[in-house]
Copies of this chain bind each other. A is one copy, B any other.
């Protein structure tokens, strides 16, 4: 056969399970990815698991060791579970881990597709009756803006009567232009070819006004090819609830898209389903794939976490790696088989996920009664068929 005549392409993946249910769902994703590679035979994954966790922080004082984030550059991709634990302040865990990875590896585009997959129920009556109303991709600026980390507190103790703290958001032309262009390319490769840009340029009159200006500048290049409009972030939440069918691709700042993508996940049925790809579209450095949910300390270790968001993220990773031969830097652009038939593999994984949820093999957050393992095994069986 054609398959046996080719050497399987091997991808080196750094896997960072992190904390809580991050561990359960990363295990599940690795199992599913291995089943996928053994089924297709044309590609395989070499996983290296990195113990960058809150446990590690407690015992040794750090999440990633010195040089750890730089060391990720040797991999083809990074698979990330979740990080955060109640006994470590969140701003410490995140600024030592997920945020430096995103910026150090130039992962400036965070892509978050949302739709209502079969067998899941939207809390919105309209979408429960007609799931196809909601089909969005949120493109999140992932390298600057409200997540720049600049600012400070003076005096450094919160206790003084006159303490002042600042949060400084930095917006650069380069940063805005590249994410806007990425979003237009994403929209161009979606069936509806629509892009909605979100800012808060009425109240925030510097960086947000720059966003608007650069957006309209880039938009000229896509005139007639992509339909576009602009929303204020507050009004955008109303539109997502009331007119989901009017939206397709959405581009927003780091913070706005963080908020809107959680809302999108909730409206689509469960935060446990939603995937997220942190992409370096230049492909100079590895991209990172993670479900959007957190470490969920309340259900950690119970074996009931929903692995679908993790599987969908894995499917996005496979799709991204399919373009490794340089034929795409935009999600969804590779329409052929890609490297080692991997576009087909990604489609197969998505189909397997949907068959399983459709069949009612679902965790509690989706109204089912299955365990993480039961869902995972069911997806593996589907892949094999």
Q: Which residues of A contact B (CB under 8 A)?
A: 84, 89-91, 93-95, 99, 123-126, 128, 146-147, 149, 151-153, 158, 160-174, 200-210, 213-214, 217, 232-235, 237-238, 241-242, 254-255, 258-259, 261-263, 265-267, 271, 294
- Judge whether B161 and A205 touch: CB under 8 Å: no
**8 A-B pairs, CB-CB below 8 angstroms?**
A90-B202, A90-B232, A91-B204, A95-B205, A151-B206, A164-B170, A166-B206, A241-B266
- Judge whether B91 and A209 touch: CB under 8 Å: yes
Q: Report Cα–Cα, A48/B214, bound state, in Å.
A: 42
- Judge whether A151 and B213 touch: CB under 8 Å: no
Residues in B neighbouring A258, C-beta threshold 8 A = 200, 203, 233-234
- Judge whether A123 and B167 touch: CB under 8 Å: no
Residues in B neighbouring A265, C-beta threshold 8 A = 238
Once A167-B169, A235-B262 are accepted as A-B contacts, the answer to whether A241 and B267 lie under 8 Å apart by CB is yes
- Judge whether B84 and A149 touch: CB under 8 Å: no
- Judge whether B167 and A208 touch: CB under 8 Å: yes
- Judge whether B266 and A202 touch: CB under 8 Å: no
Contact of A167 among B124, B147, B206, B235 (CB under 8 A): B206
Contact of A259 among B204, B207, B233 (CB under 8 A): B233
Q: Report Cα–Cα, A95/B262, bound state, in Å.
A: 30
- Judge whether B206 and A165 touch: CB under 8 Å: yes
Smallest Cβ-Cβ distance to A161: which chain B residue: B173
Besides A89-B201, A162-B172, A166-B207, 19 new A-B residue pairs in contact (Cβ under 8 A), listed by A number: A90-B201, A91-B201, A91-B204, A123-B242, A124-B125, A146-B167, A146-B204, A153-B206, A153-B210, A161-B173, A163-B173, A165-B210, A166-B170, A167-B169, A167-B171, A169-B169, A203-B258, A233-B259, A238-B271
Nearest-Cβ distance from residue A13 to partner chain B, whole angstroms: 26
Q: Report Cα–Cα, A216/B220, bound state, in Å.
A: 49
Residues in B neighbouring A266, C-beta threshold 8 A = 237-238, 241-242
Contact of A202 among B84, B128, B210 (CB under 8 A): B84
Q: Report Cα–Cα, A235/B94, bound state, in Å.
A: 16
Contact of A123 among B125, B164, B234 (CB under 8 A): B125
Nearest-Cβ distance from residue A216 to partner chain B, whole angstroms: 10
Residues in B neighbouring A152, C-beta threshold 8 A = 206
Residues in B neighbouring A201, C-beta threshold 8 A = 89-91
Nearest-Cβ distance from residue A275 to partner chain B, whole angstroms: 16
- Judge whether B149 and A91 touch: CB under 8 Å: no
Q: Report Cα–Cα, A177/B170, bound state, in Å.
A: 27
Contact of A203 among B91, B168, B200 (CB under 8 A): B91
Smallest Cβ-Cβ distance to A204: which chain B residue: B167
- Judge whether A207 and B123 touch: CB under 8 Å: no
- Judge whether B206 and A234 touch: CB under 8 Å: no
Nearest-Cβ distance from residue A371 to partner chain B, whole angstroms: 21
Contact of A213 among B90, B158, B171, B262 (CB under 8 A): B158
- Judge whether B238 and A263 touch: CB under 8 Å: yes
- Judge whether A164 and B153 touch: CB under 8 Å: no
Residues in B neighbouring A168, C-beta threshold 8 A = 151, 166-169
Residues in B neighbouring A162, C-beta threshold 8 A = 172-174
Nearest-Cβ distance from residue A112 to partner chain B, whole angstroms: 11
Smallest Cβ-Cβ distance to A292: which chain B residue: B234
Q: Report Cα–Cα, A218/B162, bound state, in Å.
A: 16
Nearest-Cβ distance from residue A34 to partner chain B, whole angstroms: 31
Q: Report Cα–Cα, A237/B138, bound state, in Å.
A: 16
- Judge whether A205 and B173 touch: CB under 8 Å: no
**Most chain B Cβ neighbours within 10 Å, of A99, A232, A262:** A262
Q: Report Cα–Cα, A160/B173, bound state, in Å.
A: 8
Q: Report Cα–Cα, A99/B93, bound state, in Å.
A: 36
